[in-house]
Amino acid sequence: MITDLTILNIISFLLIFFIGLPHGSFDGAVASLVGFRNRIQFLQFLFYYLVLFFLVILFWLYFPIAGLTIFIMMTVVHFGLCDWTNFKINKYKYSVSFTYGMTIIFGIIFFNENQSFLIFEYLTNSKIYLIQKYLFIPYSLTFLSIIYFIYLSFFEKKLRQGVIEILFLLLIFHYFDPLLSFAIYFCFFHTYKHLKHLIKNIYLNLKNKKFVIYSTLVFTVISWVGGLGIIYYLFQNLSLYESILKVMFIGLAALTLPHMLLVDIVYRKRFK
């Protein structure tokens, strides 16, 4: 088992904590953009958001393997939709989204399977290894989806850039450990694409720009302070590595569900 923080682990955690996580702090602005504009509506949005957040944490604590599995599935969908949106095409939504989402998650696991399952064990328990023998299924689906994506790129020029990006990401996953691989994609690909699309629509459609700045800063500070507080609490009984790992990924899972519902279901329907 990995018990000590390495330099690469520290870099990965810092990237996720200070660059990746705060991109969800724009959810207040997104909520305002899609209709939660007055004080009562915005408080309702916060209430629903927090309820979902805590329900996910409770579910993970009682059903950790199911929680991790659902989180992986949600991440595949969320990452994939964000990358598809970035191409600004109406065609091939499911093919592009599936290819990107599967490539990110199962590409990282494929090149770092033993290290990935050590992380999964920290997040769940040793029974997680029971599903390792079935990984040939998502690996095969990922490979086939990449082949089909390359085929589609012959007919859609915009996807040719995607082929290069996917191959570049696979190269990153091959050379770096799973935490740093995830951090690089999450911070410098996903977060960039998400904010580029979002900030443009905020600028065009929201009059109250100060609200965007203040709400984002408040949510960012709350996430940082809350995360550090929980890490300190867990560190009383766990290693620092395990404490950070649990806060980072269980926290991400808890934020991903309300974030997905808001961004992928409500926001993307109005702002493609």
Q: Are 76 and 136 in contact (CB under 8 A)?
A: no
Domain that holds residue 34: 7-270
Mean pLDDT of 77-81: 95
186 lies in a domain? yes
> Does position 124 have pLDDT exceeding 90, yes or no?
yes
Mean pLDDT of the chain: 91
**Per-residue model confidence (pLDDT) at position 204:** 81
75 lies in a domain? yes
CB atoms < 10 A from the CB of 42, how many?
A: 16
**Per-residue model confidence (pLDDT) at position 176:** 96
Q: In whole angstroms, what is the distance from residue 25 CA to residue 8 CA?
A: 25
Q: Are 154 and 88 in contact (CB under 8 A)?
A: no
Q: pLDDT band for position 1 (50/70/90)?
A: very low
229 alpha-carbon distance from chain centroid: 22
249 lies in a domain? yes
Q: Are 106 and 142 in contact (CB under 8 A)?
A: yes
1 lies in a domain? no
> Does position 218 have pLDDT exceeding 50, yes or no?
yes
Going 47 to 49 to 53 to 56, the CA torsion angle's sign is positive
**Per-residue model confidence (pLDDT) at position 272:** 64
Q: pLDDT band for position 232 (50/70/90)?
A: very high
66 alpha-carbon distance from chain centroid: 17
118 lies in a domain? yes
> Does position 3 have pLDDT exceeding 70, yes or no?
no
2 lies in a domain? no
Q: Report how many domains make up the chain.
A: 1
Mean pLDDT of 189-205: 85
Q: In whole angstroms, what is the distance from residue 138 CA to residue 21 CA?
A: 27
Q: pLDDT band for position 20 (50/70/90)?
A: confident
266 lies in a domain? yes
